[in-house]
Amino acid sequence: MTRKQIKEQAARYAKFVQWSDPDQCFIGRCPSLFDGAVHGSDEAKVYKELCETVEEWIELLNQDGAPLPKSTADKKQYSGKFVLRAEPGLHRRLALKAQAAGESLNTYCVKTLAKA
């Protein structure tokens, strides 16, 4: 597999870098490919290291003749619908906040989740 092919395969996997309060550093993960993580104090450096790690994993799996796990790009399409179970008290608070905002509960929750 050429370096270009490895990079193309790596681009198909979702990579996440988030701040971790308990660890006081950025944590980079690629959950579709491996369970581990990379970490550091600079978000851009963590992302760069994560991308390099993903490429290394792909190269190692290829060298071992092991199949690559399904990439994010290969996964199913999402319908945009899911069921969420919540305590009745939380349901009530959200419904009241939505009503106060002049929105449906669905619209209010979608906007709130989009901010997360």
Let me know if domain 3-74 sits in CATH 3.40.1280.10.
Answer: no
**55: three-class secondary structure by DSSP:** helix
Do the beta carbons of residue 41 and residue 25 sit within 8 Å? yes
Distance CA 5, CA 11 (A): 10
| Domain range annotation of the chain | 3-74, 76-116
High-pLDDT (> 90) share of the chain, %: 76
Q: From residue 5, how far is each of 13, 15, 16, 33, 100 by CA, in Å? A: 13, 18, 22, 16, 53
For 17-49, what is each residue's pLDDT tens digit? 999 999 999 999 999 898 889 999 999 999 999
Do the beta carbons of residue 10 and residue 55 sit within 8 Å? yes
Give this prediction's pTM: 0.66
Instruction: Say yes or no to pLDDT of 76 above 80.
Output: no
Residue 75, pLDDT score: 65
